[in-house]
Every structure is written in C-alpha cells, then in structure tokens.
Amino acid sequence: MPHRSRIMKFLSKTPQIAALSFLALVTSTESRSACVEKAAHTLDVKNDVAIDHTTGLIWQRCAAGTRWNSRMSQCDGEVSGLTQKQALVAARRAGSEWHVPSAAELASLRLNTCEGPKIDTHAFPNVSSSDRGEGMNFWSSTSAISSDTFYYLNFADGSFDFHSGGFNLALLLVRSK
C-alpha cells in the first residue's frame, strides 16, 4: 500500500487526529506567512451573489440576518449569531440548493491579505460587522473532534478553529453552479 494511502487510512480511523491534521494544514504558518494585496482569482459579483468560476460555487454576499439592498449596494440589517442547528435551518429556508459551506469551501474565500479582513470585502461587504469581539467567525458544516463540534473560519485573521455546535457564529450560504 502506498505511503499516502496508509496515512489516509489511519486518519479515517481516528477522527480526532484527522481533525487536528486538517486544522494544522489550513492554518499553517507557511500558508499565512506571505501576504498578498490581490486575490489569486476574483469573484464575479452580481447583485446579491458572488460567483466563483474557479471553484464553481455561488455565495450569498450577505451574512445570515442581513439582506442585499441593490439600491444602496450593501447588506442591510444585523448579522445573526446562529448555532450550528440554526445555521442548517437557515440554509433550508433559503432554498434547497443553499447549504452551510464545508471548511474547504470556506477556505476557498480566504485571502492572505496584509491588513484587514481575509476575504474580498467588495464581494462580502458586511463580514466585518460579524465581529462581536472574538473575530469574524463563520460556521462550516465540517465536523471536528466530535459529532457536535464544527470548524469555523475567522476572517479577521484567516485562521480555522472549532467550537461546539451550540455556539453562536455568523453564516454565509453557498451553492454549486
């Protein structure tokens, strides 16, 4: 069995190690050490959605609890802090095609900017308003160490961490093209 296959087999049998390995991979110092001023790819912004032609994903531009105001070109309202269960309900209410993003899907939005939020603030204008003093934390649907812990991405510094599903975090919804 090739070396990589043995590692993947080991990680699949030990979810705690797999979760920590994923966390180490996406928040490694090397991946955050060099900052750039421009994104590697751009998002095509159309009214209330941002289309990523590289990944094939379509994102709602406004965090849950807010709505796109096309006249003012901004998100109106207050960003909701949702539990993981509430985030899943919000996704269902938005329509069958929308879902809570996986950690990998969220990671595709992360920018290694030198300053400011680690996300395209033109495409996602109200991400900063999700900061309640602990960062700009957005849920993923990817479970971590247990079935009730999930990864989230902090767009303030670009780091991933995990928390229990009962914690209140912000949410961006996504769907495939």
pLDDT in tens, 54-89: 999 999 999 999 999 999 999 999 999 999 999 999
Phi first, then psi: what are they for 5, rounded to 5°?
-65, -40
**Could you give all domains of the chain from N- to C-terminal order, each with its CATH number?**
3-176 (3.10.100)
Instruction: Provide the pLDDT for residue 114.
Output: 86
User: In which band, very low, low, confident or very high, does the pLDDT at 39 lie, cut at 50, 70 and 90?
Assistant: low
Instruction: Provide the pLDDT for residue 36.
Output: 65
Over 50: is that where the pLDDT of 3 sits?
Answer: no
Phi first, then psi: what are they for 26, rounded to 5°?
-80, -15
Separation of alpha carbons 88 and 76, rounded Å: 22
Long-range interactions of 76-81: CB distance < 8 A, separation 24+? 78/129, 79/126, 79/129, 79/130, 79/170, 80/170, 80/171, 81/132, 81/168, 81/169, 81/170
**Residue environment code for 162-174, b if the CB has 16+ CB neighbours within 10 A, otherwise e:** bbebebebbbbbb
pLDDT digits (tens, 9 = 90+) for 139-163: 999 999 999 999 999 999 999 999 9
Kind of pairing between the strands at 137-143 and 66-69: unpaired
Which residue matches tokens 């996300």? 119
Percent of the chain with pLDDT over 90: 68
Instruction: Provide the pLDDT for residue 37.
Output: 61
What's the average model confidence in pLDDT over 45-60? 96
Over 80: is that where the pLDDT of 19 sits?
Answer: no
Over 50: is that where the pLDDT of 112 sits?
Answer: yes
**Residue environment code for 27-62, b if the CB has 16+ CB neighbours within 10 A, otherwise e:** beeeeeeeeeeebeeebebeeebbbbeebebbbbbb
User: In which band, very low, low, confident or very high, does the pLDDT at 115 lie, cut at 50, 70 and 90?
Assistant: confident
Instruction: Provide the pLDDT for residue 113.
Output: 86
Over 70: is that where the pLDDT of 53 sits?
Answer: yes
Instruction: Provide the pLDDT for residue 28.
Output: 43
3-state secondary structure of 104: helix
Instruction: Provide the pLDDT for residue 42.
Output: 81
**Beta pairing partners, 163:** 150
